[in-house]
Amino acid sequence: MDMEAKCGYCGVQAKLKCAGCQQTYYCNPDHQKKHWRAKHKQECAKPYELARNDEIGRHCLANKAILKDTVLFTETPLVIGPKWNLDEYEQRSTIVPCVGCFADCNLGLFYCELCRWPACKPDCPGLINRSLHSLECGILRFGHPPKPGDDPETFFDYYRYDALLVLKCLAMQICNPSSFDQIINLESHYDARKNTRYYADTDERIVSYLFRNFLDPLQSLERKEDKVVLKVCDRKTLHMISGILEVNAMVIPLSNGREICGLYPLGCMLEHNCMPNSFYTFDCSKGMKLTFKAGRDIQKGEHLTTTYTHSLWGTQLRREHLKTNKYFVCKCERCTDPTELGTFLSSLRCMGVESEPCGGFQLPINPLSDTSDWKCNQCPVQVTHDQVNFIMSKIGEEVDYVMGRKSSIKEFEDLIYKLENFLHPNHFHLQTLKHSLIQMYGHFPGHRLNELSDAVLVSKLQMCRDMMSIIDVLDPDSFRLTLYAGVVLLEQQAALVELSKRQKPSTVSQQQYDLSEALQCLVRAKTILQNEMGTIQGKKLMEQIERALENVGEQTGNA
Ligand SMILES: C[S@@+](CC[C@H](N)C(=O)[O-])C[C@H]1O[C@@H](n2cnc3c(N)ncnc32)[C@H](O)[C@@H]1O
Alpha-carbon distance 334 to 275, whole Å?
Answer: 7
Q: Establish whether residue 268 lines the binding site of ligand 1, counting it when its CB lies within 6 angstroms of any ligand atom.
A: yes
Alpha-carbon distance 288 to 274, whole Å?
Answer: 25
- For residue 511, the model assigns a pLDDT of 59
Alpha-carbon distance 88 to 95, whole Å?
Answer: 14
**Structural domain of 24:** 16-70
**Of 260, 283, 305, at which residue does a domain stop?**
260
* In a shared domain, residues 36 and 132: no
Give 36 Cα–ligand 1 centroid separation in angstroms: 33
* In a shared domain, residues 250 and 119: yes
**Of 243, 260, 277, at which residue does a domain stop?**
260
Which pTM value belongs to this model? 0.89
Answer whether residue 323 is part of any domain.
no
**Residue 71: how many other CB atoms lie within 10 Å:** 11
In degrees, rounded to 5, the angle at the alpha carbon of residue 129 between the alpha carbons of residues 152 and 71 is 110
- For residue 71, the model assigns a pLDDT of 92
Answer whether residue 349 is part of any domain.
no
Answer whether residue 362 is part of any domain.
no
Give 49 Cα–ligand 1 centroid separation in angstroms: 16
* In a shared domain, residues 85 and 222: yes
Q: How many domains does the chain contain in total? A: 3
* In a shared domain, residues 146 and 33: no
Answer whether residue 279 is part of any domain.
no
Torsion of CA 145, 149, 152, 157, to 10 degrees: -10
For residues 344-378, one letter each, b for 16 or more C-beta atoms within 10 angstroms of the residue's C-beta and e for the rest, the string is bbbbbbbbeeeeeebebbbbbeebeeeebbbbbee
Answer whether residue 339 is part of any domain.
no
Answer whether residue 236 is part of any domain.
yes
ipTM over 0.90 threshold: yes
Answer whether residue 469 is part of any domain.
yes
Mutate to test the pocket of ligand 1, among 328, 330, 331, 333 (most ligand atoms within 8 A of CB): 328
* In a shared domain, residues 96 and 61: no
* In a shared domain, residues 58 and 156: no
* In a shared domain, residues 118 and 31: no
- For residue 262, the model assigns a pLDDT of 97
**Of 225, 260, 295, at which residue does a domain stop?**
260
Give 189 Cα–ligand 1 centroid separation in angstroms: 10
* In a shared domain, residues 91 and 59: no
Answer whether residue 289 is part of any domain.
no
DSSP state, residue 406? -
Specify the residue with its C-alpha closest to ligand 1, atom 7. Answer: 58
Q: How many residues does the chain have?
A: 559
Q: Establish whether residue 50 lines the binding site of ligand 1, counting it when its CB lies within 6 angstroms of any ligand atom.
A: no
- For residue 491, the model assigns a pLDDT of 98
* In a shared domain, residues 60 and 194: no
* In a shared domain, residues 220 and 190: yes
- For residue 286, the model assigns a pLDDT of 82
Give 249 Cα–ligand 1 centroid separation in angstroms: 12
Give 417 Cα–ligand 1 centroid separation in angstroms: 40
* In a shared domain, residues 61 and 85: no
Atom of ligand 1 nearest to the CA of 270: 3
Alpha-carbon distance 251 to 280, whole Å?
Answer: 11
Walk along the chain (559 residues) in steps of 10 and give the mean pLDDT of each run.
74 84 83 89 83 97 93 95 91 94 92 96 95 96 93 92 97 96 97 93 97 98 96 98 97 90 97 98 90 96 97 96 96 98 97 84 96 96 95 96 91 97 97 98 95 96 98 97 97 96 69 85 96 88 97 77
Helix, strand, coil % in the chain, rounded to nearest 5: 45, 15, 40
Q: Establish whether residue 58 lines the binding site of ligand 1, counting it when its CB lies within 6 angstroms of any ligand atom.
A: yes
Q: What is the sign of the dihedral through the CA atoms of 458, 460, 466 and 471?
A: negative
* In a shared domain, residues 65 and 85: no
